[in-house]
Amino acid sequence: MIQKVFITKYALTSGIIECEMEVRENEKSCYGTPKGFVFLTGFYNNDFHLTKDEALKDCNSRKDKKIISLKRQIFKIEKMSF
């Protein structure tokens, strides 16, 4: 069934991509050609969401995980001595 989806896979680089795609709920997947993509593409599991609220929650979660990862990297680099 074709419906509006919110793709969050590239949220930290491109933001939320909102588009119409074929959704297969039994597989938790969607297929189509979102704006900016040249080929038919599939997204699975938590890479896309059916509501804007779910997409925003996922984006905030991805952002928080990335911040924690970057803080760890900064801490590691600051501990280095040459």
pTM across the whole model: 0.85
What phi, psi does 81 have (nearest 5°)?
A: -135, 145
Strand 41-44 and strand 48-49: pairing?
A: unpaired
pLDDT tens for residues 1-34? 899 999 999 999 999 999 999 999 888 999 999 8
Residue type for position 36: G
State the pLDDT at residue 51: 95
